[in-house]
Structure 1
Amino acid sequence: MPFAAITYDIKPGHEAELAEIFGNFRRVRSSQVRDEAGAAAGTILATAVFLRDDTLVRVIEYTGDLEAVARHMAVQPGVREVEAKLKPYLTRPRDTDTVEGFVATFKRSLLRTVAQISARDNTPNAA
């Protein structure tokens, strides 16, 4: 299963406020991702958020098409709520008020994957 990580440039010294914002996060309505035509396009399996100083990173484990995942996230009430609450803590504004803006910001914030290893990907050899 692939992972994606997106960054947020934040003002340092607000770790408690940011932890509270993500601690009260409302899960997406459905982990099933659909494309614009309504066809199955993937699944959001898990997310995690990491914070240190002026960097916040959200990691998403998913299946399917990453752009469809971003579009799915863009319309979820909990994601929209978090993005709105983060605005005062950002050092660089994020245009996430529209689906197109969210997807463009998602792509711009995406960290390059350099390695992914999972025990789930390792099938033991038959003896």
Structure 2
Amino acid sequence: MPFAAITYDIKPGYEKELAAVFGDFKRVRSSRVEGASGEQAGTILATAVFLRDDTLVRVIEYTGDLEAVARHMASQPGVREVERKLKPYLSRPRDTDTVEGFVATFKRSLLNTVAQISVRDLPAPA
């Protein structure tokens, strides 16, 4: 299962406030990601958020098409609420008020995958 990591440039010194923003996160309605025609385009399996100094990173474990995952996230009320609550703490504004803006920001914020290793990728024991 692939992972994606996106960064947020934030103002340092707000660790407690940022932890509260993500602590109140409302899960997505469904982990099922639909494509443009309503077909299943992927699944969001897990997310995690990491913070240090002026960098916040959201890691997403998913299956399927990453752009469809980004579009799905853009339409979720909990994700939109987090993006709204993060605005005062951002050192670089993010255009996430529309689906198109969210997807473009997601792509710009995406870290390059250098390596991914999982026990799920090992062959089954004989």
TM-score by length of 1: 0.98
Instruction: Specify the SS of the correspondent of 1:21.
Output: helix
**Structure 1 range deviating more: 117-126 or 44-53:** 117-126
Q: In structure 2, what is the equivalent of residue 46 of structure 1? A: 46
Q: What do the CA deviations read for 1:29-68 (whole angstroms, capped 9, x no partner)?
A: 0000001111100000000000000000000000000000
Rounded to whole Å, the distance in 2 between the matches of 1:124 and 1:38 is 34
Rounded to whole Å, the distance in 2 between the matches of 1:53 and 1:123 is 39
How far off is 1:123 after superposition? 1.3
Runs of 4+ with deviation above 4 angstroms: none
Aligned length: 126
How far off is 1:125 after superposition? 5.0
Aligned-partner residue type, residue 21 of structure 2:
I
Rounded to whole Å, the distance in 2 between the matches of 1:98 and 1:61 is 23
**Do structure 1's residue 35 and structure 2's residue 35 form an aligned pair?**
yes
Structure 2 gap segments, 5+ residues each: none
Structure 1 gap segments, 5+ residues each: none
Q: In structure 1, what is the equivalent of residue 16 of structure 2? A: 16
How far off is 1:124 after superposition? 3.8
**Do structure 1's residue 74 and structure 2's residue 66 form an aligned pair?**
no
CA RMSD of aligned residues (A): 0.7
Identity value in percent: 83
